Amino acid sequence: MSVQIIIRSEKDPSYYIEQEFFNPEEINIGSDESNQIILEDPNNRVSRQHVQIMIDGKNYYLIDKGSEFGTYIQGKKIASNTPMPFDNTIEFTVGGFDVALTITGQDTQYADENILVGNPFDEDVQALSSVLNRLSHRYQLEEKNKKKTFLTQALREMIDENNENEILQILFETLEEQNHYQVHHSLHSSEVLLDTLLKTIKSLMQINEQFRNEFLGESVGSDGRSLDYNSINTMKEYLLQSGITQEESQNRLSELHKELNIIIMHQVALVNGYYYGVQEGSHALLREMNPTPIQEKVEKTHGLTGLMKRLYEWMPSLLKLKMFQQLQSKYSQFMEKGKQYIEKKFFREPFIRKYQESYRHNNPTEEMVKFSMKSDTTDN
């Protein structure tokens, strides 16, 4: 049979321990290291030998071992040293911890007729389970900014360096499975980080190239570049090539820095171009729909002189009607030609002009400093 035990803390919602036992006869819970499940309560409400789950065939019992602060089920304290029978599930409280226990399945030793002996790893796994439980408990109690470093240092003192990454991965996944936390060896982390950064640079450079090609009509490729950003592997080989001098390595790093500057300049120019394009384009559109020049055009077109002029003066609504018709005609033309026509006629030209001006004259380092200062002010 399988006994699954889940433990949560009443005060810490993030605290979570899940442990499973196979074919146990008893499971002891308390603060002493001799227990299979070890709970360290800062408030000292967990006794050294606090509670026991006893399994006798298909009969299950919960026994409080005379603990000082007691064991509770649904808020009611159970009698000490008195076996309390339960079905295959039970929930109870020990100190500041909520315990949920579930028993499932049959005796694994006889579940398969082909299995003539018990699992040879049962005893070792049970011992390891107790140790991992204590380790998990201590891990969750430590300060968040220190516990990973401390545990890693402690493990490295006893783990062979060649197996370090694999074992640490298993342990951290066990300790923080509910958070899907993953740990990597420092070298592996560096490789993953480098891959991520290079992929980001590659994508941003390709977007930059596509923008300048399709939007500005400029042909921008990697011709003449030593750093080919179209291939991640080629970039890595070029930047991390062994056997080159320190000066050459620095030069190649500088090339990468230049690519980053291009990305920064492009992003800054996009922002400047957007603001300027919206501002100037909106003004140009409003000027196009300004009633005053439309009225002057109507008067000029219809030759408002003499009797005709007096007629419009006596009946100003006629002039307003003509103006309205002209405005309506302009609006209809814009709608028929579509949003792309409006964008090209009023917004694109000032955007491109400001984008190119910003791209040529911006200092990427200074712009990043400005952006950083602006972000700090916003956060505060």
pLDDT, residue 184, reads 40
When pLDDT is averaged across residues 172-180 and rounded to a whole number, the result is 53
Q: Is the pLDDT of residue 80 over 90?
A: yes
Of the two residues 377 and 355, the one the predictor is more confident about is 355
Count how many residues are written for the chain.
380
Nearest Cα to 30, choosing from 43, 41, 17, 16?
Answer: 41
Q: How far is CA 246 from CA 23, 187, 240, 253, in A?
A: 62, 21, 11, 10
pLDDT, residue 81, reads 95
When pLDDT is averaged across residues 200-221 and rounded to a whole number, the result is 78
Of the two residues 175 and 83, the one the predictor is more confident about is 83
Of the two residues 106 and 285, the one the predictor is more confident about is 285
pLDDT tens per residue, range 93-125: 999 899 999 998 654 444 444 444 556 766 666
When pLDDT is averaged across residues 339-350 and rounded to a whole number, the result is 86
pLDDT, residue 375, reads 45
* DSSP conformation letters of 265-277: HHHHHHHHHHHHH
When pLDDT is averaged across residues 25-46 and rounded to a whole number, the result is 89
pLDDT, residue 86, reads 94
Nearest Cα to 362, choosing from 254, 259, 272, 257?
Answer: 272
Entry pTM: 0.40
CB distance 48 to 31 below 8 Å: yes
pLDDT tens per residue, range 114-168: 444 556 766 666 667 667 776 777 777 676 667 777 777 776 666 655 565 666 6
pLDDT, residue 332, reads 84
pLDDT, residue 59, reads 92
Q: Is the pLDDT of residue 174 over 70?
A: no
pLDDT, residue 198, reads 84
Q: Is the pLDDT of residue 189 over 80?
A: no
Average pLDDT value for the chain: 76
Give the amino acid at 257. Answer: H
Mapping DSSP to helix (H, G, I), strand (E, B) and coil, where does residue 8 land?
strand
DSSP letter (8 states) at residue 366: H
- Least confident residue range of 87-101, 206-220, 253-267, 297-311: 297-311
When pLDDT is averaged across residues 50-79 and rounded to a whole number, the result is 94
Q: Is the pLDDT of residue 29 over 90?
A: yes
Q: Is the pLDDT of residue 74 over 70?
A: yes
pLDDT, residue 166, reads 65
Spatial neighbors of 377 by CB under 8 A, at least 6 apart, are none
Q: Is the pLDDT of residue 64 over 80?
A: yes
Spatial neighbors of 212 by CB under 8 A, at least 6 apart, are 218, 220
What does R_g of the chain's alpha carbons equal in angstroms? 38
pLDDT, residue 114, reads 44
